[in-house]
């Protein structure tokens, strides 16, 4: 029996990109009968359905049949949780569960420093490298030595795309230990009902004669929405219309930026059902993220599944430009260049055949690389590569 311990910052019901990947990884491990696994993470205030967590509590939840050890958090410093009980809980699970493999979702510097205290134990270590520390300049330098120690201890470093492991600041240290394990879309969530298709038809009728662009996501700086709004202002033709879904700290500022531009419409937060209708109705998916905080961009993969061409910016070290291939599944523009973004939108708006060609190529790329079945196979292959010999207990 192979034993796997995942270490994540947080876990469901707390929601975030890395947390979703950690849960997907757990669900994939559930597909293998010869694997036992647990997760350890920090606790955080969150509630979804019957699941409710509080950051000041240490609890052992069971989610998807997996034990999730959530350690209380007494402070948050530079986006990093701190806990008095984490060392004790990690030591306990290492002693009692005795994992063959630990998968550490990086960045998680506080936990990495604790894990290194146990580096002489027999477990194999895989770093799931989601992104470098870039925003916190001081921490970036403070943890440089720690990161090198982690890399020396690891068996493999895994990235969601080749960009993650080839364009990281630590790529020179990774050597031949690099592996790629792309994230997966939830195909079940993308199944669209006839009622939702009818809603999409209504949207298209309301904006008949217009090419529709669609954005969904948080209204925060790294999402680059200001450049989409600037691009719209540079498009003088009235044959385009942009739906901007979601909300966030920049919503009011962005609305002021778009004031007077009838092509831009803020539709607020939408349900999954509404999201599917707008995605089905649109002609172009707008994905103007500008920093490596956008590590992969599952939203664009979901749009590609619906055969929508995507317009992105170049983001060095991010997986965004691996998912959407420039000139094949969409158009990639120089980072933060709203003029180039406007030109890309106009090019797609004026060429229905090109939109169709890129849309078909996009769906093909998703089906071949980013489906749930492929993710499960990739996880199994990683286990086989790391744990060459099955360990019986």
Q: Which domains does the chain have, with CATH numbers?
A: 2-184+372-386 (3.40.50.2000), 187-369 (3.40.50.2000)
**Angle at Cα 17 formed by Cα 11 and Cα 62, nearest 5°?**
20
**pLDDT on residue 257:** 97
Burial of residue 134 (number of CB atoms within 10 Å: 0-12, 13-18, 19+):
middle
**pLDDT on residue 134:** 58
**pLDDT on residue 137:** 56
How many Å apart are CA 314 and CA 289, to the nearest integer? Answer: 9
**pLDDT on residue 139:** 60
Q: Look at residues 42, 15, 319 and name the one whose alpha carbon lies nearest to residue 167.
A: 319
Q: Look at residues 261, 299, 296 and name the one whose alpha carbon lies nearest to residue 282.
A: 299
Hey, how many other C-beta atoms are within 10 angstroms of the C-beta on 148?
Answer: 12
CB 32 within 8 A of CB 64: no
Q: In which region does residue 88 sit, left (phi positive, over 0), alpha (psi from -120 to 50) or beta (all else)?
A: alpha
Q: Which residues of the chain register pLDDT less than 70?
A: 78, 133-141, 389-393
Question: Do you find a cis peptide bond into 92, omega within 30 degrees of 0?
Answer: no
Cα dist from 69 to 86, 95, 323, 373, whole Å: 10, 14, 33, 27
CB 151 within 8 A of CB 157: yes
**Which residues, 6+ apart, have CB-to-CB distance to 120 below 8 Å?**
none
**pLDDT on residue 83:** 87
CB 248 within 8 A of CB 218: yes
Hey, how many other C-beta atoms are within 10 angstroms of the C-beta on 193?
Answer: 11
Instruction: Give me the sign of the Cα torsion angle 334, 339, 340, 346.
Output: positive
3-state class (DSSP) for residue 328:
coil
How many Å apart are CA 323 and CA 330, to the nearest integer? Answer: 10
**pLDDT on residue 391:** 45
Question: Do you find a cis peptide bond into 13, omega within 30 degrees of 0?
Answer: yes
Q: Look at residues 276, 288, 283 and name the one whose alpha carbon lies nearest to residue 240.
A: 283
CB 250 within 8 A of CB 229: no
**pLDDT on residue 284:** 98
How many Å apart are CA 344 and CA 35, to the nearest integer? Answer: 47
**Which residues, 6+ apart, have CB-to-CB distance to 356 below 8 Å?**
307
**pLDDT on residue 392:** 42
Q: Which two tokens stand for residue 373?
A: 């079945």
**pLDDT on residue 138:** 59
Burial of residue 294 (number of CB atoms within 10 Å: 0-12, 13-18, 19+):
buried
Q: Which two tokens stand for residue 189?
A: 């969530």
């Amino acid at each position: 029996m192979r034993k796997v311990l995942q270490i994540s910052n947080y876990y469901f019901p707390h929601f975030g990109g890395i947390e979703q990947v950690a849960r997907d990884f757990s669900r994939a491990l559930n597909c293998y009968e010869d694997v036992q696994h647990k997760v350890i993470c920090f606790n955080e205030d969150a509630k979804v359905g019957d699941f409710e967590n509080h950051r000041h509590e240490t609890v052992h939840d069971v989610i998807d049949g997996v034990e999730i050890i959530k350690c209380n958090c007494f402070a948050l410093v530079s986006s990093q949780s701190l806990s008095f009980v984490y060392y004790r809980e990690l030591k306990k699970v290492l002693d009692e569960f005795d994992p063959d493999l630990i998968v550490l979702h990086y960045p998680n510097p506080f936990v990495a420093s604790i894990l290194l205290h146990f580096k002489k134990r027999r477990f194999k270590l895989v770093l799931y490298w989601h992104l470098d520390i870039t925003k916190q300049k001081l921490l970036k330098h403070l943890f440089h030595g720690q990161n090198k120690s982690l890399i020396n201890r690891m068996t493999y470093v895994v990235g969601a795309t080749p960009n993650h492991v080839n364009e990281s600041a630590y790529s020179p240290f990774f050597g031949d230990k690099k592996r790629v394990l792309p994230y997966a879309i939830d195909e079940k969530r993308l199944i669209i009902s006839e009622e939702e298709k009818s809603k999409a038809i209504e949207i298209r009728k309301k904006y008949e004669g217009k090419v529709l662009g669609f954005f969904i996501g948080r209204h925060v700086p790294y999402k680059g929405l200001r450049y989409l709004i600037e691009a719209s202002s540079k498009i003088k033709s009235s044959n385009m219309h942009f739906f901007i879904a979601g909300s966030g700290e920049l919503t009011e500022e962005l609305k002021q930026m778009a004031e007077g531009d009838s092509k831009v419409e803020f539709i607020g937060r939408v349900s999954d059902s509404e999201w599917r209708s707008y995605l089905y109705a649109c002609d172009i998916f707008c994905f103007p993220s500008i920093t490596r905080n956008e590590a992969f961009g599952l939203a664009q993969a979901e749009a590609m599944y619906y055969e929508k061409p995507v317009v992105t910016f170049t983001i060095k070290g991010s997986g965004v430009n691996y998912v959407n291939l420039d000139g094949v599944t969409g158009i990639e523009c120089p980072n933060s260049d709203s003029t180039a973004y406007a030109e890309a939108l106009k090019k797609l708006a004026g060429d229905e055949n090109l939109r169709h060609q890129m849309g078909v190529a996009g769906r093909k790329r998703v089906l071949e690389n980013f489906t749930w079945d492929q993710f499960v196979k990739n996880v199994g292959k990683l286990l086989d590569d790391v744990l060459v010999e099955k360990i019986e207990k």
